[in-house]
Structure 1
Amino acid sequence: MFVPRSGLEVLKPYSVEEIQWPIRLDANENPNDMPQAIKTKVIEKLAALPFNRYPEISAQSLKETIAAGFGLTAANVLIGNGSSEILEALCYAFGGAGRSIVYPSPSFSMYGIYAKLADSQPVPVALNADYTLDADKLLAAANEAAASVVLLCNPNNPTGVVLPPAQIEYIVANTKSLVVVDEAYHEFYGKSSVNLLGKYPNLAIARTFSKAYGLAAARVGYLLAGEDIAQTIGKVLLPYNVNALTLATAEIVYNMRQEFAVSLAENSRERERMTAALGAIAGVTVYPSQTNFLLIKSDTMAAMVARLSARGIGIRDFSTAPGLTDCIRIGIGTPDENKAVLEAVTA
């Protein structure tokens, strides 16, 4: 008789409403399509791509391109089908039965799922009331659980709050666990822990092309780490895990990443404008963000969500999630989309 493996019956899958909102601010996507200069080169490249051939099994070309940007070698880089695939594989490679994986909460909801899928014990550590992290509390939890992995999302999703570089180094320096800093929103923040890689062998950095670089449709991410860490994780990734179309596109995007400076600057301006405008509404709290989204809280959140929905604006409702009572996350859209948000919430 065949039955699902034990534990799956209580595991909640990652799910969001599949609604084609006229204004989509629910997935932290770049609201602008790929810059035309990049799109032209991508189309030219794909037109010459042999679709009958498998992609590079090791994604060597993209690895070398990314490594050169950081002064590393290709052996320090791992390419995945989104950074999510790499994080899952990392938990599988360094987790396992009898091992623990520690992470702040609330944070990216998949961390706990990755831990459970790897037969590891998830150990969420509650953030402070203002969503900042108590580093000593996290380290104490990691020490008590003898954690094999510590996951840190910086800036954090869904709160938008950052961990200062000094705090991250303090954590890395004071634990024997593998510390993985998920920098999915790095480009909006501008500060990174990459400079610590040479100093601490227990550090790895994950990044994605899905947010600032607008490649959510292509699904590609990467990990920067010591050669031994990258090699170990690579053992549990499937062969040809990233398709040739995505690899070709990602390499062009990375080489032309300066083309996104305009959209990044617009995001920064609009984020500050939205923070001020939403924060001026009575009863609304806007948490500080260094990302392309805002977490806001209101005692009348249900009514606010209804007004946004009625105007065709999709947001992420976290109001019933642990640690996020009465909170929603709103992506930073185009100026016109943000104007529509403000009109809806002040109606």
Structure 2
Amino acid sequence: MRRLVRACYAGAAGYSYAKSAGDVAREHGIDRVARLASNENPRPPSSAAIEAATAALREANRYPDTRASALVEALRRYHGDYRFVTGVGMDGVIETVIRTVVEPGEAVVVSTPTFSFYGLAALAHGARVVNVPRREDFSVDPAAFAGACRGAKLAFLCSPNNPTGNSVPPEAVEEILDRMEGLLFLDNAYVDFSEIDYRLLMRRHENLVIGRTMSKIFALAGLRVGYAFVPEWLEPFYHRAATPFALNSVSAAAAAGALADAGPVREACDHVRRWRQRFAEEVPFPVFPSDANFVMIDIKPLTGDEAVERLAANGVLVRSCTSFPGLGDHYIRVSIGEDWENVRFIEAIRRI
């Protein structure tokens, strides 16, 4: 029966996950593993998020609001008067946008190296993926990227970029938008850790979607809440294409609660900025400048996979970048964790 599997899955790998902390602990006999592989917020959700989620559980016998109206109103209070859609993580938003605008066989443009799910999701919907390499310093050439978008309905650009950590200046994004005829999906999963704001571009361009997530700065990775700023024309069609009742009521309530509690957000940003600087100063390998809650490190002469194994033996879990399209095999990505995790990482990487 394997003949029934689509060709794009039969001979190719899917999304590449980091090792789990449990696997590392069992393999190396370590009780406490520093979990720095998945760009998670090491702090728990805010008390407001936990209280809201607990209250929502009492009505979990009912289907959730199909438009997550309470969460959308909370997003408007937090960001201002924009149009929002939601999904199961930003991954769910990405899939729904592709489903809304892309026909099988049409091109989807991706700026690489970057998050592999854009290409995987596009292939899953029968699209043709066009990868546009970044410059040697991982910056984006707006003219080259926009040129590759000719005739394409949809393109993906991540800023701050995963895994390189660098951002695309808003004026460069605007240049791309001015040159494009299709829709640009700007992934802002990590923008809260930067000092860059792309939101005003929504006021001037109707071909822009800005994707966001509650997984990072708001510490709700386990509840899978994504959302996006969308132009008015796209919103009704997005809802037609969306999976019914996709975002569960507990996750939506927790997200609305988290948006009302700004204190943990400020603390998380301060923590990340302080440790990004320490990594740059104390790690004995080249650390790339980052606007995100992680840094990318050039680990050569080791490969990324070799470094991951050596660090795991020292109780530190990081991400090899070998699975990212268009990136060499000698990089690792290291999340900013708790203080003890970051200290252990610095000590371990000095040993290797």
TM-score between the two structures when normalised by the length of structure 1: 0.92
Give the corresponding residue for 2:20.
Answer: 18
Superposition pairs of residues 67-82 of structure 1, within 5 angstroms? 67-72=76-81, 76-82=83-89
Superposition pairs of residues 214-253 of structure 1, within 5 angstroms? 214-253=219-258
Give the corresponding residue for 1:58.
Answer: 67
Alpha-carbon distance, 1:10 to partner: 3.1
Q: Aligned AA for 1:66?
A: L
Matched residue SS, 1:194? coil
Q: Does structure 2 retain, via aligned residues, the 8 Å contact 1:213–1:257?
A: no
Alpha-carbon distance, 1:128 to partner: 1.2
Q: Does structure 2 retain, via aligned residues, the 8 Å contact 1:160–1:289?
A: yes
* Deviation readout 1:286-331 (Å, 9 max, x if unpaired): 1110001011112233454343111111111124654232001011
Q: Does structure 1 retain, via aligned residues, the 8 Å contact 2:159–2:167?
A: yes
Superposition pairs of residues 299-338 of structure 1, within 5 angstroms? 299-302=300-303, 304-319=307-322, 321=324, 322-338=326-342
Bigger Cα displacement from structure 2, 119-128 vs 319-328: 319-328
Alpha-carbon distance, 1:59 to partner: 0.8
Aligned partner of 1:99 among 97, 106, 124:
106
Alpha-carbon distance, 1:167 to partner: 0.5
Alpha-carbon distance, 1:6 to partner: 4.0
Instruction: Tell me which of the two structures has the higher relative contact order, counting C-alpha pairs closer than 8 angstroms and 6 or more residues apart.
Output: 2
Give the corresponding residue for 2:27.
Answer: none
The answer as to 2:350 corresponding to 1:341 is no
Q: Aligned AA for 1:269?
A: R
Distance of 2:54 and 2:148 partners within structure 1: 51
Distance of 2:267 and 2:214 partners within structure 1: 17
Superposition pairs of residues 22-37 of structure 1, within 5 angstroms? 22-35=33-46, 37=47
Aligned partner of 1:154 among 146, 156, 159:
159
Distance of 2:136 and 2:292 partners within structure 1: 20
Q: Does structure 1 retain, via aligned residues, the 8 Å contact 2:311–2:349?
A: yes
Aligned partner of 1:38 among 48, 63, 74:
48
Alpha-carbon distance, 1:39 to partner: 5.2
The answer as to 2:296 corresponding to 1:295 is yes
Count of residues in correspondence between the two structures: 337
Query: CA, structure 1 residues 102+41, in 2 after alignment: closer, same or farther (shift >3 Å)?
Result: same
Alpha-carbon distance, 1:245 to partner: 0.7
Distance of 1:4 and 1:319 partners within structure 2: 26
Give the corresponding residue for 1:84.
Answer: 91
Alpha-carbon distance, 1:238 to partner: 1.1
Distance of 1:43 and 1:215 partners within structure 2: 11
Distance of 1:312 and 1:31 partners within structure 2: 16
The answer as to 2:126 corresponding to 1:115 is no
Q: Aligned AA for 1:245?
A: V
Q: Aligned AA for 1:27?
A: S
* Deviation readout 1:110-138 (Å, 9 max, x if unpaired): 11111111211101111111111111111
User: Share of identical aligned residues, percent?
Assistant: 28
Matched residue SS, 2:223? coil
Q: Aligned AA for 2:36?
A: L
Q: Does structure 1 retain, via aligned residues, the 8 Å contact 2:53–2:253?
A: no
Q: Aligned AA for 1:169?
A: E
The answer as to 2:127 corresponding to 1:124 is no
* Deviation readout 1:66-103 (Å, 9 max, x if unpaired): 12333325xx2101111110101111211122311111
Distance of 2:11 and 2:209 partners within structure 1: 30
Q: Does structure 2 retain, via aligned residues, the 8 Å contact 1:83–1:220?
A: yes
Matched residue SS, 1:217? helix
The answer as to 2:19 corresponding to 1:8 is no
Query: CA, structure 1 residues 45+345, in 2 after alignment: closer, same or farther (shift >3 Å)?
Result: same
In the alignment, structure 2 segments of 5+ residues that lack a partner are: 25-32
In the alignment, structure 1 segments of 5+ residues that lack a partner are: none
Matched residue SS, 2:277? helix
Give the corresponding residue for 1:204.
Answer: 209
Give the corresponding residue for 2:282.
Answer: 277
Q: Does structure 2 retain, via aligned residues, the 8 Å contact 1:150–1:180?
A: yes
Query: CA, structure 1 residues 72+341, in 2 after alignment: closer, same or farther (shift >3 Å)?
Result: same
* Deviation readout 1:200-226 (Å, 9 max, x if unpaired): 111111100001111000000101111
Alpha-carbon distance, 1:44 to partner: 5.1
